[in-house]
Amino acid sequence: EDQVTQSPEALRLQEGESSSLNCSYTVSGLRGLFWYRQDPGKGPEFLFTLYSAGEEKEKERLKATLTKKESFLHITAPKPEDSATYLCAVQANNFNKFYFGSGTKLNVKP
Amino acid sequence: DGGITQSPKYLFRKEGQNVTLSCEQNLNHDAMYWYRQDPGQGLRLIYYSQIVNDFQKGDIAEGYSVSREKKESFPLTVTSAQKNPTAFYLCAVGRFQETQYFGPGTRLLVL
């Protein structure tokens, strides 16, 4: 069964304290893996799409990496404005839909 | 967002009432999707449409209905058959099988 698991459920960091969020997946043929940021009461905001193992993408303090079984979202020297829930989703080759994880809620304290 | 609008932002439903959530886009994408988000759970797919006048059930379609009469619009009706409708509803659009972009969402509450 296709599945996406994100860990940890919640993460508290001090400003400037780098860390990583994990997205583990099992899917029958990965078409793409997607990272989103969601602020409370708002729709998810697209961050990255990764298509193949070894691929990396960066945006400001965020860097996403992909292996055959998991993806990491690395946050370098986070700031309080990086506080949000980060969602991971995968799409299988033979299906039209995305499978979403339940998210990691990140809180960065000043 | 930025081309995807959902209305209303908040919607209240009375017992036995059908309510309709609006999703409009001006991004010229063919595919549109409806998701439901509950606390502590991942987004769950309700319905999706790849093209005008065609739509498919997702994982939790029972108690919901949709139409796709125009490329720009994909309204979702929450019927009285949906016994637990309280949730945050998200519309997404994209080129089929590519990245999905989300609207701002509608929060549905039951009176």
* pLDDT number for residue A61: 97
Residues in A closer than 8 angstroms to B43, CB to CB, are 44, 87, 89, 98, 100
* pLDDT number for residue B38: 94
Q: What's the average model confidence in pLDDT over B7-29? A: 94
**Alpha-carbon gap, residue A99 to A75, rounded angstroms:** 23
Percentage of chain B beyond pLDDT 90 is 83
* Residue-level length of chain A: 110
Probe site for chain B from A3, A86, A87, A96 (most B CB atoms < 10 A): A96
* pLDDT number for residue B6: 98
Q: How near does any CA of chain A get to the CA of B70, in Å? A: 21
* pLDDT number for residue A98: 86
* pLDDT number for residue A92: 84
Inter-chain CB proximity B45 and A98 less than 8 Å? yes
Percentage of chain A beyond pLDDT 70 is 95
Give B87's pLDDT tier (boundaries 50, 70, 90).
Answer: very high
Q: Which residue has the higher pLDDT, A95 or B25?
A: B25
Q: What's the average model confidence in pLDDT over A53-70? A: 96
Question: What integer best gives the mean pLDDT of chain A?
Answer: 94
User: Which of A42, A44, A97 lies nearest to residue B45, judging by beta carbons?
Assistant: A97
Inter-chain CB proximity A45 and B56 less than 8 Å? no
Give A35's pLDDT tier (boundaries 50, 70, 90).
Answer: very high
**Alpha-carbon gap, residue A21 to A8, rounded angstroms:** 7
Inter-chain CB proximity A87 and B1 less than 8 Å? no
- Is the pLDDT confidence value at A21 over 60? yes
Q: Residue B62 contacts by C-beta under 8 Å, 6 or more apart in sequence?
A: B81, B82
Residues in B closer than 8 angstroms to A93, CB to CB, are none
- Is the pLDDT confidence value at A2 over 80? no
Quick one: closest CA in B to A100, which residue?
A: B42
pLDDT in tens, B41-78: 889 999 999 999 999 999 999 999 999 999 999 999 99
DSSP 8-state symbol, B103: -
Element (H, E) at B50: strand B44-51
Q: Residue B1 contacts by C-beta under 8 Å, 6 or more apart in sequence?
A: A43, B101, B102, B103, B104
The distance in angstroms from the start CA to the end CA of chain B is 29
Q: Which residue has the higher pLDDT, B3 or B98?
A: B3
- Rounded to a whole number of angstroms, the CA Rg of chain B reads 13
